[in-house]
Chains A and B, each alone.
Chain A
Amino acid sequence: MRKVAVLGGGHNKFCFNSPKTSVEMLSEVAMDAIIESNLKPKDIQAINVGNVLGDFAEGQGMVQSFFANDIGCFNVPASRFEGACASGSMALRDAVMWVASGYYDIVLVGGVERATAMGTALATRTFAMFGDGHYEFPAGFTFPAAFALLAHLYSDRYGIPLERLKEQMAAVSVQSHEYGMKNPNAQIHKEISKEDVLKSFMVTTPIQLHDACPFSDGAAVVILASEEAAKKLTDKPVYITGIGQASSGKLSSQFQYLPRLRARELASQQAYSMAGLTPKDIDICELHDCFSIASLIAAEGLGFFEFGTAGEAWERGETRLGGKIPINMSGGLKSKGHPIGATGVSQAYELTRQLRGQMADQGRQVDGAKHALMDTLGGDGVLVSVIFAAE
């Protein structure tokens, strides 16, 4: 297999109520990425797009083809990936394999979502479609509820009193908002305190409003190339050295592992193994913090902390800039926002810039970072891990 590099990228400011269509948002960031990569639209050989709810949000399916046409990638093969919140990461992993195989030299990977056009009630309904629609939805299943079930289970299994766990969860949200303040592309620029989290609206016990990421609109793009093509186009290629993906079934079917998510552990092991790295080698991580408790479960499943101890690590500052493993220097899904089709591509955009040392101006650069890990969770059913390396 050939080495695969990331060229340029594009990313808009994630927001509520975008006045732009999904095709427009995606086209704008794609043109930014094409220009930054020293390419023309005609150089793009294939397009992979993560988009989940365009049909419900704006009556628009098949954004990938209309978007390809809008940016002048006329008749270029374009595919849509749907894996709930991991759609963009699936699109990315698939594109890596196309380039690594030698079939294509240059592939554009995009993601877009306009979820806020649905309003909260319909958005909650459509997001619940990524749980089991027959055996679990009738009980009132929603994604906040799924992670709330995991939070209480986490408290019980690891013997952490709920009040203590709630403080640890609050520490996650506080940190995310602090770094999100420094990210010009973040949806929410607002510092919050532990007290703000603990007095916010109770969504589903024990998850409160500030334990949860927002609904978001936004788009992101990265362009992948073979090593040979990349060396002609950029002085600072960042390589993708490990990829992994694993599936899981309905929440109750995962009972032997919960609150651990087995699919994440398998996906990240695939990526670590392919890259020849261990968790200790990772300098920076963007992980899927759709809920504060999800961050703890993710950081443990990725191998950064012992099970049941990630909350203490957050409280001790080990996940901050300069800490043992800086996590979500972008502000994470919580503060940066979570336009679900775009989220994985946004993580890739963020980590590529970190490995190129381009975040110093924003005051959130992990100095000398060589290896980066991204982790994305989609619904009950898919986990994707990708490892990036600076040359």
Chain B
Amino acid sequence: MEYKIIFKDYSKALKKNKLLGLKCNDCGTVTCPPMMVCQNCAGTNQEIVELKGDGKVVTFTTSFINSEGRENEMPITIVMVELDEGPWIMGNLVDMDPTKVTMDVIGKTVKLGHRVFPGDKYSAGEMARPVFSISN
């Protein structure tokens, strides 16, 4: 059985600020990031949907350390966002000084964008990642 959305296609769409997920025709759950099956009922009767890219911050951290080769990205704020359609995804918070991000950011509504991680010697090429800005 083939994936409906493979990472390469997810990443390619994200580079156009399109966030792809899968909606289950049996239980209605939206799965994002995409998987082979519905993350709720494990069914395969799913269709590709484009998510709005709106959500709210559920948790965050500002990192002052990172992996080999990514030191110049520090400090960086990582967030988990609960999308309006239900699932959570991980990304970065941008348009805000990372060192100023506090617990107050939890619950703030955010809007999706993207940046591209160019990959490192342990990655199989570049990968787009979600980034979020606080929406007004």
Contacts and interface: CB of A to CB of B under 8 A. Distances in A.
A139 B90 contact: yes
A156 interface: yes
B136 interface: no
Interface size class of B (residues with CB under 8 A): 35 or more
A3 interface: no
A325 interface: no
Contacts of B60: 149, 152, 205
Given A152-B106, A155-B103, A142 B66 contact: yes
A229 interface: no
A140 B66 contact: yes
A205 B61 contact: yes
Interface in B47-74: 58-71, 73
Contact of A204 (B11, B64, B71, B130): B64
A151 B11 CA distance: 29
A139 B33 CA distance: 13
B62 A204 contact: yes
A247 to B, nearest CB: 14
A145 B59 CA distance: 11
Given A121-B67, A125-B122, A252-B90, A140 B59 contact: no
Interface stretch (A130-138, A260-268, A354-362): A130-138
Contacts of B90: 135-136, 139, 141, 251-252
Given A135-B7, A139-B130, A250-B33, A152 B67 contact: no
B44 interface: no
Contact of A124 (B58, B65, B129): B65
Contacts of A144: 63, 65
Interface residues of A, number: 42
B67 A128 contact: yes
Contacts of B122: 125, 129
A162 B105 CA distance: 13
Contacts of B33: 132, 135, 250, 252-253
A128 B129 CA distance: 16
Contacts of B73: 140
A36 B91 CA distance: 51
B92 interface: yes
A250 B122 CA distance: 19
B74 to A, nearest CB: 9
Interface in A94-152: 120-122, 124-125, 128-129, 132-142, 144-145, 148-152
Nearest to A251: B90
Interface in B86-121: 87-92, 101, 103, 106, 117, 120
A274 interface: no
B29 to A, nearest CB: 10
A62 interface: no
Interface string A174-216: 0000000000000000000000000001111111000000000
A153 interface: yes
A137 B128 CA distance: 11
A202 B61 contact: no
Given A140-B78, A156-B59, A203-B65, A252 B87 contact: yes
A135 B89 contact: yes
Contacts of A249: 35
Contact of B128 (A121, A138, A152, A250): A138
Contacts of B64: 201-204
Contact of A252 (B68, B89, B120): B89
Contacts of B76: 140
A124 B63 contact: no
Contacts of A155: 103
Q: Could you say which of A124, A252, A255 has the most chain B C-beta atoms within 10 Å of its C-beta?
A: A252
B24 interface: no
Contacts of B92: 139-140
Contacts of A136: 90
A142 B71 CA distance: 13
Nearest to B123: A133
A120 B60 CA distance: 23
B68 A125 contact: yes
18 contacts: A121-B68, A129-B122, A139-B92, A142-B66, A142-B67, A150-B59, A152-B106, A153-B58, A153-B80, A155-B103, A204-B61, A206-B61, A251-B90, A252-B80, A252-B88, A252-B89, A252-B90, A253-B35
Given A135-B89, A145-B78, A252-B87, 7 more contacts: A125-B68, A129-B122, A142-B65, A142-B66, A152-B61, A205-B60, A205-B61
Give me the 6 closest cross-chain CB pairs, A-B, nearest first: A148-B61, A125-B67, A138-B129, A138-B117, A121-B68, A255-B88
